[in-house]
Amino acid sequence: MHTARVVIDPAFRIGEADRRLFGSFVEHMGRCVYGGIFEPGHPSADPLGLRQDVLELTRELGVSVVRYPGGNFVSGYRWEDGTGPVGDRPRRLDLAWKTIETNAFGLDEFMVWARAAGVEPMLAVNLGTRGVQEALDLLEYVNHPGGTSLSDRRRKHGAEQPYDVKLWCLGNELDGPWQVGHKTADEYGRLAAETARAMKLIDPSVSLIACGSSNRGMATFAAWEATVLEHTYEHVDYISAHTYYDPSDGDRASILASAVDMDAFIDEVVATADHVGAKLRNRKRLKISFDEWNVWYQSRLQHDLDRRGWVEAPALIEDDYTATDAVVVGDLLITLLRHADRVGVACQAQLVNVIAPIRTETGGRAWRQSIFHPFALTARHARGTVLRTEPVTPSHDTKRYGPVPSLSTVAVHDDETGALSVFAVNRGETPLSVELDLRAFPGLTTTEHLTLDGPPRRLDTAGRITVELAGASWNLIRSS
């Protein structure tokens, strides 16, 4: 057994654990919407067709904000298709996922669902095949009180009060050649800047997210962010980041170390944004919206797309997650918390069925996948001030990332209750004996050690405690 040590002190403040870090994502892809959150005729469905079993699991998961309607889907989407009487809505080809979109579920249904789930809505505008005017039309429909054509149309559709949506994505992954309406950084940056400027004329209270790179491996990474932000810096509040980690090659040591890559990704985007801010003499500090992240067996997607024609809501990338995947998800959440001073929004992709913590059967049951549990426990207990931890830890070698620290940790102190939550992942296969130095918290008397595979264990707290972490494990050590 190897040993490690962590000193935790309330003076080592990073920032507050923003509830928006525990977001999710609902896209018109596969069975995320149809057969996921929405299934008229299901035994649990309400009169609108919203599955109550999925709503209950969404609340249990602790989701705070949900991004909608995409994703790649939004780059060809006409938002008005999903409003008004359902029988009058057009059926369209969705080029992103090669499906037929019925539009039976749209913007107004999503807003009702979000209210029922207790989540903040986060909407994306189409800057792939559309532009400034269509974004303004959507904002007017959603947020203007009334007395105009579009706001009165919303009221006619049953929403008397404005939806008051504050978070808006200016397109999606437009650096990617797979994206409908793919653009160069200059083309996108100019369009995003003009869209942002106009949207804030309608509603100055909105927070806007410019598209960053689709992943850190893009050939244009960092150059894309620098160019886009030179156009948009004064008009936006966030730059987005997306990343997925694929276990398909069976390299367990590397997949367990995926958070090392996310950590570097965040540092590099922050450095790029701060460079642009300095260059523009702008003292504003942009934050990151990490609005797509997860473990994803990506090799399965092309097989799913190639095996069928144009159909409605086919099953796509309904990955079955393992205990190892759950450990990785827990570590990615630790990384997001460690950057709480610069990451203001994060959305795990997606919520239901499509690489998701929640799975459903059409007409049948809904259940939790393994990755559900670290997310739910972190969302529940990471409340208060995030504290920096610098573990003294052994390292081990990985094929993809070289030597990596075996122990990954972050602490969150709840100033109201006095509780301290330490989230810890042993990325290595060898068990770790970890000494936690809690002498800066003299009021703590009891400690509980939770893992994903067994009942909590109670420990005595007396300034220092030792916790044994199994190999490749996620852990929550909670003291009060």
Nearest alpha-carbon partner for 352 in 393, 301, 315:
315
- Active-site position among 173, 225, 268, 429: 173
Q: Which helix (H) or strand (E) holds 193?
A: helix 185-202
C-alpha–C-alpha distance, residues 221 and 178, integer Å: 16
Please give the angle made by the CA atoms of 351, 340 and 429, to the nearest 5 degrees: 70
CB 237 within 8 A of CB 207: yes
CA 30, 32, 34, 37: dihedral to nearest 10 degrees?
170
Type of residue found at 274: D
- Is residue 134 part of the annotated active site? The answer reads no
Q: Which whole-number Å values give the CA distances from 105 to 77, 98, 309, 366, 421, in the listed order?
A: 13, 18, 22, 20, 40
DSSP for residue 359: E
What DSSP assignment string belongs to 56-121?
HHHHHHT--EEEES-SGGGGG--GGGGSS-GGGPPPEEETTTTEEE--SS-HHHHHHHHHHHT-EE
Told to judge if 292 belongs to the known catalytic residues of this protein, a careful annotator would answer yes
CA distance 56 to 120: 16
Rg of the chain over CA atoms, in angstroms?
Answer: 22
> Cis (ω within 30 of 0) for the bond into 298?
no
Catalytic residue among 292, 318, 361, 390: 292
Ordered alpha helix ranges (H), 204-321: 223-232, 252-256, 258-279, 299-306
DSSP label at residue 339: T
Sheet strands side by side (includes 2-7): 2-7, 432-437, 464-469
Active site residue ranges: 173, 292
